[in-house]
């Protein structure tokens, strides 16, 4: 999957996962946001590829935690007043 495709796939996944942030996620253009979208897609894809294998249960949990951390980071960053002012500018 090409980098831009991974970014957009991650963006769509996060928009579904965080409906309260959907509009901001879909409008996001900052490089750090795009990197988060790509990292999220990579973590989800890796997790999904090993899910269901009992020998990888700990790794699945780690990928779940990584996904959750990315979600929380994005929520915090996009909820900050300084971000809201910049995105309206």
Write out the H or E segment, with its range, that includes residue 65: helix 57-79
- Distances in whole angstroms, Cα of residue 61 to Cα of each of 7, 31, 41, 65, 87: 23, 28, 16, 6, 34
pTM: 0.83
Query: Length of the chain, please?
Result: 89
Range of the domain at 27: 3-88
User: What pLDDT is stored for residue 55 in this prediction?
Assistant: 86
Instruction: Provide the domain count of the chain.
Output: 1
User: What pLDDT is stored for residue 22 in this prediction?
Assistant: 95
User: What pLDDT is stored for residue 81 in this prediction?
Assistant: 65
Low-confidence ranges of the chain (pLDDT < 50): 84-85, 88-89
Could you give the CA distance from residue 26 to residue 55 in angstroms, rounded to a whole number? 36
Q: Bin 52: left if φ > 0, else alpha if -120 < ψ < 50, else beta.
A: left
């Amino acid at each position: 999957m090409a980098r831009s495709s991974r970014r957009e796939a991650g963006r769509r996944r996060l928009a579904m996962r965080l409906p309260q942030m959907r509009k901001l996620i879909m409008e996001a253009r900052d490089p750090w946001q795009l990197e988060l979208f790509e990292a999220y897609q990579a973590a989800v894809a890796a997790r999904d590829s090993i899910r269901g294998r009992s020998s990888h249960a700990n790794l699945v949990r780690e990928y779940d935690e990584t996904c959750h951390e990315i979600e929380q980071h994005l929520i915090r960053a996009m909820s900050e007043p300084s971000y809201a002012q910049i995105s309206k500018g």
